[in-house]
Structure 1
Amino acid sequence: MKLVTRFEAASRSTAELHALLTEAFNAFAAAPRGSDQRRDAMASMRNIEDELASRTPSL
């Protein structure tokens, strides 16, 4: 999976981000431990989750 940057995540809709998060999770689970693919998938998940959290209205 290609790394999803925070900038790229910001340009996507919330629905697209949820789909990308699922894709990143699956890529993380399938990648060998210690691989670049696993590292990129983890970084993508962090970037996507950070962007989703920034969109959530605070209470």
Structure 2
Amino acid sequence: MTELRWQKSSFSSEASNCLELATTPDGELRLRESDDPTTTLALGSAGLHSLLVAVRQGITGRS
């Protein structure tokens, strides 16, 4: 698999707690937390849109 180029969110501080984003050669998006870079979330653009809408609305999926 091709090495992904991770980009840190512009909203992240200099601390190690950062959200990073990469795009695969086939256009799939990958998200990861810098504290645990081995765990990634893979999604398409529609999935990213849904995630951002949920975050903005305060939906966390936790009970």
Alignment TM class, shorter chain as reference: 0.3 to 0.5
Q: Give the structure with the larger strand fraction.
A: 2
| TM, length-normalised to structure 2 | 0.30
Larger Rg: 2
Q: Give the structure with the larger helix fraction.
A: 1
| TM, length-normalised to structure 1 | 0.32
